[in-house]
Amino acid sequence: SQTIHQWPATLVQPVGSPLSLECTVEGTSNPNLYWYRQAAGRGLQLLFYSVGIGQISSEVPQNLSASRPQDRQFILSSKKLLLSDSGFYLCAWSVHGGLEAQHFGDGTRLSIL
Amino acid sequence: AQSVTQLGSHVSVSEGALVLLRCNYSSSVPPYLFWYVQYPNQGLQLLLKYTTGATLVKGINGFEAEFKKSETSFHLTKPSAHMSDAAEYFCAVSRMDSSYKLIFGSGTRLLVRP
């Protein structure tokens, strides 16, 4: 069966520090991968999605970037964090080439001080 | 353009009562529809999905939803609420193009009173 792992679960970072959140998927090949942010009391905002290695689509201009160095690895990064980057970050995967459900990781709670 | 509307940001029911969470969508083509549940500080868990075929879809934890094309609705129901059902629920529709993206509603928080 397929599993998705996100880490760390929680992170407290000072303003201006770098960020790296990692997501890996097991049990499937060539998945579509997604990064979402969920601000407090808000819905889900799609940040990036990827349909293959090195292929990243950005949904909104922001202080973040994403990379997919390996088939089942998706990384969310920032060079300098802003207060507004605080939130709950979720990684998800879906079957490539389909319109099927997305499956989510447990999320990372990011607090910027 | 496709969109999803969830009526009611908060729904409160008594334990044992019927749960009804409303979702309406707009789509120019037959959509794929999903319901997810999110417990505090956790990711989203798929409850059920409609792709094609039978319009009444059964999911996990006793939930079900019915796709009604004429009403462009996909409401989520459960006959008897349990305290453990308290969570946030998201309805989503699949973008029927090559983007493979889901469009999520704004969510409904379900409160269950003892």
Give B71 to chain A, closest Cα distance, Å: 22
For residue A103, list chain B residues with Cβ-Cβ distance below 8 A: 46
For residue B107, list chain A residues with Cβ-Cβ distance below 8 A: 43
For residue B96, list chain A residues with Cβ-Cβ distance below 8 A: 99
Q: Which residue has the tokens 């496709």?
A: B2
Give B6 to chain A, closest Cα distance, Å: 11
Q: Which two tokens stand for residue B10?
A: 């908060």
How much is the average pLDDT of A35-43?
84
**What per-residue confidence (pLDDT) applies to A60?**
80
Residues in a beta bridge with A74: A23
The whole-number mean pLDDT for each consecutive block of 10 residues of chain B, a chain of 114 residues, reads 90 97 89 93 94 92 95 96 97 79 93 96
Q: Is B29 left (phi over 0), alpha (psi -120 to 50) or beta?
A: beta
Which residues touch A53 (CB under 8 Å, ≥6 apart)?
A68, A69, A70, A71
Cβ atoms of residues A10 and A109 within 8 Å: yes
Check whether A68 has a pLDDT greater than 80. Answer: yes
| Of the listed ranges A8-17, A80-89, B95-104, the one predicted with least confidence | B95-104
| Burial class, A97, CB count within 10 angstroms (exposed 0-12 / middle 13-18 / buried 19+) | exposed
